[in-house]
Structure 1
Amino acid sequence: MAGFEKLFEPIKIGSVEIKNRIAMAPMGILGLSTERGGFSKRAEDYYVARAKGGTGLIITGIVKIENEIEKVHEGTIPCPTIDPSHFIRTSSEMVERIHAYGSKIFLQLGIGLGRVASPQMLACQPVAPSAIPNYWDPSITCRELTTDEVERLVKMAAESAAIAKVAGFDGVEIHAVHEGYLLDQFTIAMFNRRTDKYGGDLMGRLRLPIEVVKAIKKVNGENFPVALRFSIKSYIKDWNQGGLDGEDFVEKGRDTQEGLTIAPILEKAGYDAFDADAGSYDAWYWAHPPIYQKHGLYLPLTEQLKKVVNAPLIVAGRMEIPELAEKTLEEGKAADMINLGRGLLADPEWVNKVMQGRIEDIRPCIGCHDGCLGRGFVGKPLSCAVNPACGREIEYGISPAEKVKDVLVIGGGVSGMEAARVAALRGHKVTLYEKTGELGGHVVEGSVDEFKKDNARLLDWYKTQMKKLNIDVKLNTEVTPQLIEGRKPDVILVATGSKPIMPNVPGIDRDNVATATDVLLKKKPVGQKVVVIGGGLVGCETAISLAMDGKDVTVVEMLPELISSGLPVPHMNRTMVLDMLKFYNVKAVTNNSLLEVKDGAVEVIDRDFKRSTIPADTVVISIGLRADQKLYHEIADKMPNVYIIGDANKARNIMYAIWDAYEVARSI
């Protein structure tokens, strides 16, 4: 706790005292609700784990206040009003368990999704304040809500809050004048073209959030806290187009000045706290910041907000670095509480570890979204790329092994280190071999750029765990079948990783040809004009890195769009990379393949067999990775208990490298 005293000071929101200044940010629990709109046992265990980990305030993910006007498929999102008694039964025990750890819990009430509802989630036509295009499918026009329907939303918000109070929740948070959801759409002129009492001037557009808080206070009493999820600025450049930090554009949504104007009005209406951020679906990389965004990205905005409101200000935005969180509270200019979202998915014990002075043991979030929102949007349950037990804490935890085994791990990438870590935690004797002089595998080059430093933090965490668990790490040692035969281990985990795929074209062996790994690790010099072959995520990130260094970069991709093949890249990460490519003037040539590397140029060919030449001092190859399974095939049928994990199993991403390893190691 030394050096982090401010984080552990109590604070009040309305009449509710919270033991410290760390809140769990609201995150949707897709896949963790029941068919009747309650919380599943997995959801209960998920929230209780964060309370047990020391978090002062839990703010649940969104629950819908109704499921008739805007009907989503049952079981998608919790909803108190579908079956109030079921909701109370499934949430009251969860609340009681959370209270046992001294934590408080607010239920986040969602007024609706509106134009940002995915049509696949809905069992009806999308709705909105006005007849505007759906975000995900602009060919679909949202149905304008009637005045009677909007009034019913106010009634259902109050009814949901009353149910929450009966269930034992300490307060509610309204979702939201934030991120471009339905309530936010009512407040923004771009989306609200109504002529009734819920449209028109600023006060007309604010009528709905004002009526909501007043209705809740009327049924639950003035002392029942009502917080507001609030986006200070939208960052909307145009329909379905976001604006980057530092980019010159005209704000089409809510600009900072309007955000600072409406906040005091909403506070006066009765909101007891502001859970503040920025962004919208049109600029989703602000509302859900990927690895490319700065830590504390909202602080310049919340510093302005704090000057115009008196209610406690909770700030999120990649605040999971303890020193940043403490400094922000100490300065007192931009926040009164710290919201941790994905940081608590990655490590539910974040708070306890800070209090115990174990900062180095906090498992970092890497801003990938692969395990959380990325999974949710392809219909899979919430989890975390670096913490496979997230969202299934009890049933997928680590337990001691019944019999201690001699475990040999071959390969020191993240998959090998995760396997070694989990096996050691279970009590096995573990030896890890790495043929190079450094642990990390491909994540080493994936950590070089400033915008990828969270990957470096993950590698540092793994290296720390290797030491703390006394795992015998042998660097600069290539494992052979003979070495294994001499060791005779009980279990062999092959994590030999993957190698870059090189196209078989003329000139590929020229000196000016390099892999993305070579370029990022500066193993080869790079000229001024660079052509990157391969427009997947790695190719595009490498192109941005080179462009930031002042290079003239062109990406060549055989498909019609960049970042469109292989594993889906979560929407906020993909759109930010594409916008960064434009911002740094990276050119893209799609529907073309490499035909030949020439002196000072590459020749490419399109689908109509038309050839063209692109000047190139350096050619960077980034067309994918191939699993290195040589050793596995040499030993798999000769030795017992051999498993292949991570990229060696199939080249994918960090999440699957970790998840493969966790699954096998927790079971041996």
Structure 2
Amino acid sequence: MNLIEQDREEEIRPCLGCGVCIDVQLQDGACARCSGNAVLGNGDNDYTIPPAQKSKKVIVVGGGVAGVEAARIAAVRGHQVSLYEKADKIGGQIFYAAAPPHKENMAPLIPYLEHQLEVKHVDVHLNEEITPEKILELKPDAVVCATGVLPSILPIPGFSRTINAKEVLDGKETGEQIVIIGGGSVGCETAEYLAEKGKKVTVIEMLDTMAEKMVNVARTILMGHLKGLGVTLLTSCKCLEITDSSVACQDKEGTVHTIPADTVVAAVGDKAGNALYRALEGKVPELYNIGDSAKPDSIAASVSQGYYCGLGL
């Protein structure tokens, strides 16, 4: 209410409608949790952000949710904060989260993050992949690495023929018969994205459940959409080989199936992109590694790590 009365609506944190809050509460009996608000459900935090005893020169590397939240809180505390992002825009993985069908509810977080950096007077550098050498030249008191993820590579013959699911969500063209390797949330949402374009899609997943870690309400809706779109879902199935025209996979009974494919999409998860953190270890007074570059996880986890990192600087 205070922000509305002060004509500062752009600073109001948007609800993403992601369902994380009700999922952990109703399904798991846990305290409410929020993808955007790190404080919700943390009984030891009363929203107080104390000023720093000494203003520090802080460099944050990475403009995703973890990096922006760390920069925001550090700036509120009175630190001199500079944020470096190699892309031409703020948002990181949020762009991929908002790209699948019916996920436009995620998009409002991006202008919120951009506006927070502006009103908190963070010095933002876009299109700049800062190096360890440059960071050392700047002599910061603290460096926060929030450098995101790198795509995983599996030891499957022909895996180099695949394209990454995030490339597809970014607009990369595909053929008409598509096999997606990996049936997590990204794989299943990419399947919906492609099936809505009229593609024939098969998803191969090693586990016995598709999108196992997805919020239950969202998962139920997504599975209904995939069924209605005619997507073939193969669980408990291991990819054996990828060729120019097909994918060979083996089910839990040991039967090998060959699926025609003119495009194979990899949605096999990400690994932490922590090279900068490793390069700076022992070379700066304070060094932190947060968000997906520490461990690929959820938006909620990244926001929480960014908030508490900023609070501890």
What are the superposed Cα offsets for residues 583-634 of structure 1, whole Å, 9 maximum, x if unpaired?
A: 2221101111221111221111223432111111211100111001111111
What are the superposed Cα offsets for residues 341-389 of structure 1, whole Å, 9 maximum, x if unpaired?
A: xxxxxxxxxxx43444333222111122224432553343223221011
Match of 1:580 among 225, 228, 232: 225
Q: Give 1:613's aligned residue.
A: 258
1:366 paired with 2:16, answer yes
Q: Give 2:170's aligned residue.
A: 521
Distance in 2 of aligned mates of 1:391 and 1:622: 32
In the TM superposition, what is the alpha-carbon distance from 1:660 to its structure 2 partner?
0.6
Amino acid at match of 1:527: G
1:429 paired with 2:83, answer no
1:633 paired with 2:281, answer no
5 Å-filtered alignment, 1:449-460, equals: 449-460=100-111
When residues 552 and 576 of structure 1 are mapped into structure 2, their CA distance, relative to the original with a 3 A threshold, is same
Q: Give 1:554's aligned residue.
A: 202
Amino acid at match of 2:261: A
Q: Give 1:465's aligned residue.
A: 116
What are the superposed Cα offsets for residues 82-113 of structure 1, whole Å, 9 maximum, x if unpaired?
A: xxxxxxxxxxxxxxxxxxxxxxxxxxxxxxxx
Q: Give 2:180's aligned residue.
A: 532
In the TM superposition, what is the alpha-carbon distance from 1:463 to its structure 2 partner?
0.7
Contact 1:364 1:454 in 2 (8 A): no
Contact 1:370 1:569 in 2 (8 A): no
When residues 635 and 556 of structure 1 are mapped into structure 2, their CA distance, relative to the original with a 3 A threshold, is same
Contact 1:602 1:616 in 2 (8 A): yes
Distance in 2 of aligned mates of 1:376 and 1:468: 36
Contact 2:150 2:270 in 1 (8 A): yes
Q: Give 2:290's aligned residue.
A: 645
Distance in 2 of aligned mates of 1:469 and 1:375: 33
Amino acid at match of 2:163: A
What are the superposed Cα offsets for residues 244-287 of structure 1, whole Å, 9 maximum, x if unpaired?
A: xxxxxxxxxxxxxxxxxxxxxxxxxxxxxxxxxxxxxxxxxxxx
Contact 1:435 1:478 in 2 (8 A): yes
Equivalent position SS for 1:620: strand
Q: Give 2:91's aligned residue.
A: 440
Q: Give 1:342's aligned residue.
A: none
What are the superposed Cα offsets for residues 537-569 of structure 1, whole Å, 9 maximum, x if unpaired?
A: 1111111111111111111101111122xxx43
Contact 2:71 2:310 in 1 (8 A): yes
When residues 373 and 358 of structure 1 are mapped into structure 2, their CA distance, relative to the original with a 3 A threshold, is same
Identity of aligned residues (%): 39
Q: Give 2:268's aligned residue.
A: 623
Match of 2:239 among 571, 575, 594: 594
Contact 1:557 1:593 in 2 (8 A): yes
Alignment length (residue pairs): 312
Distance in 2 of aligned mates of 1:428 and 1:372: 35
When residues 449 and 353 of structure 1 are mapped into structure 2, their CA distance, relative to the original with a 3 A threshold, is farther
Contact 2:148 2:272 in 1 (8 A): yes
Distance in 1 of aligned mates of 2:152 and 2:139: 33
Equivalent position SS for 2:93: helix
Contact 1:546 1:553 in 2 (8 A): yes
Equivalent position SS for 2:13: coil
Q: Mind listing any 5+ residue stretches in structure 2 that lack a counterpart?
A: none
Structure ranking higher on relative contact order (CA contacts 8 Å, 6+ apart): 2
In the TM superposition, what is the alpha-carbon distance from 1:396 to its structure 2 partner?
4.5
5 Å-filtered alignment, 1:644-663, equals: 644-663=289-308
Distance in 2 of aligned mates of 1:373 and 1:531: 30
1:398 paired with 2:43, answer no
Distance in 2 of aligned mates of 1:620 and 1:450: 17
Q: Give 1:274's aligned residue.
A: none
Match of 1:411 among 62, 74, 89: 62
Q: Which structure 1 residue ranges, 4+ long, deviate > 6 Å from structure 2?
A: none
Amino acid at match of 1:516: A
Distance in 2 of aligned mates of 1:552 and 1:412: 35
TM-score (norm: length of structure 1): 0.45
What are the superposed Cα offsets for residues 431-455 of structure 1, whole Å, 9 maximum, x if unpaired?
A: 0011222222122222223512222
